[in-house]
Amino acid sequence: MTATADPVTLMKQEVGKAAAALVKSGSIVGLGTGSTTAYTIQFLGDRLKSGELKDIVGIPTSFQSEVLAKKYGVPLTTLDAVDHIDIAIDGADEVDPQKNLIKGGGAAHTREKVVDYLAAQFIVVVDSGKLVDRLGSSFPVPVEVIPMAITPVTNAIKQLGGKPELRMGVKKAGPVITDQGNFVLDVRFDSIDDPVNLEKTLNNIPGVLENGIFVNCADLVLVGEVKDGQPLVREL
Ligand SMILES: O=C[C@H](O)[C@H](O)[C@H](O)COP(=O)(O)O
């Protein structure tokens, strides 16, 4: 950790590390995506290097987590080679008091949902700025759509009262392309009163692959905070 890190970076580092400290030797670990879990993967690599942690294998949720795992020396496997996942650690863009989540700020929610839901224990790592009273308060719902269906899916979402916007690339002309080769619609809703139903309704639109609402799946939410200049981690 650097002395010059800003408070949000400090919170992410601390909470990412705290979750990595919970991983036990011999575990199959779901490796989440994003700037917070990047610290988790780095710390898992540090623990492996020091010999304090042994014999873990990671299942990446994105090309990002795959690249980071290789960089930090975390061995990888695939879902074809294992019959369970012991623990998954992943970030989120919003967390409500019931531990429901919006994910997909990095367009990785489809693979994340597969891995996180399979894990015996799913730990969410967020900085305190991600906590909301109601999902959708500050972050739109990411919806992954196969490219040929983008127009009918956009229209169907508008019929539901959503305001969809095609996510555009940064340092890439045109839309963001997911790890599966699809587009992402970021959808704002005036209010998400029933996340359980909205998750299902969005996924029932033909052409939608997966959306970023995760309900009833987080076992533990760890929240990074900064108090009096000091980073700390608490449970939600
Ligand atoms: O698609 C990306 C993921 O759902 C991330 O876990 C989420 O966007 C949180 O990312 P970060 O830790 O960078 O805020």
User: What ipTM was predicted for this assembly?
Assistant: 0.99
Query: In the numeric block, which tokens belong to residue 83?
Result: 């019959």
56 CA → ligand 1 middle, Å: 23
Q: Is 199 in the pocket of ligand 1 (CB under 6 A)?
A: no
- Residue 214 to residue 96: CA distance in whole angstroms: 11
Q: Average pLDDT of 224-233?
A: 92
pLDDT-based confidence at 191, cuts 50/70/90? confident
pLDDT-based confidence at 27, cuts 50/70/90? very high
213-214 and 230-235 as β-strands: parallel, antiparallel, unpaired? Answer: unpaired
- Residue 107 to residue 145: CA distance in whole angstroms: 11
pLDDT value for 1: 46
Q: Average pLDDT of 58-66?
A: 98
User: Is it the case that residue 83 has pLDDT exceeding 80?
Assistant: yes
Number of H helices, E strands in the chain: 6, 13
pLDDT value for 229: 84
Ligand 1 site-directed mutation target among 35, 93, 122, most atoms within 8 Å of CB: 93
Q: Average pLDDT of 161-175?
A: 97
Instruction: Please work out, in degrees rounded to the nearest 5, the angle formed at the alpha carbon of residue 66 by the alpha carbons of 2 and 114.
Output: 115
pLDDT-based confidence at 5, cuts 50/70/90? confident
Ligand 1 site-directed mutation target among 9, 33, 126, most atoms within 8 Å of CB: 33
Backbone dihedral region for residue 151 (phi beyond 0: left; psi -120 to 50: alpha; all else: beta): alpha
Q: Average pLDDT of 198-224?
A: 98
Query: In the numeric block, which tokens belong to residue 230?
Result: 């000091």
pLDDT value for 2: 46
Q: Is 2 annotated as a binding residue?
A: no
User: Is it the case that residue 64 has pLDDT exceeding 90?
Assistant: yes
Tell me the H-state helices in 61-179. 63-72, 109-118, 150-159
Bridge partners, 203 (sequence order): none
What is the Cβ-side half-sphere exposure of residue 113, based on CA atoms within 13 angstroms? 21
Which residue type is seen at 69?
A: A
pLDDT value for 137: 93
Q: Average pLDDT of 139-157?
A: 98
Of the candidates 14, 1, 228, 212, the one whose C-alpha atom is nearest the C-alpha of residue 126 is: 14
User: Is it the case that residue 3 has pLDDT exceeding 70?
Assistant: no
Bridge partners, 76 (sequence order): 58
Bridge partners, 210 (sequence order): 144
DSSP codes of every residue in 204-228: TSTTEEEESEE-S--SEEEEEEEET
Domains of the chain: 7-131+216-235 (3.40.50.1360), 141-209 (3.30.70.260)
pLDDT-based confidence at 4, cuts 50/70/90? low
195 CA → ligand 1 middle, Å: 19
Q: Average pLDDT of 125-141?
A: 96
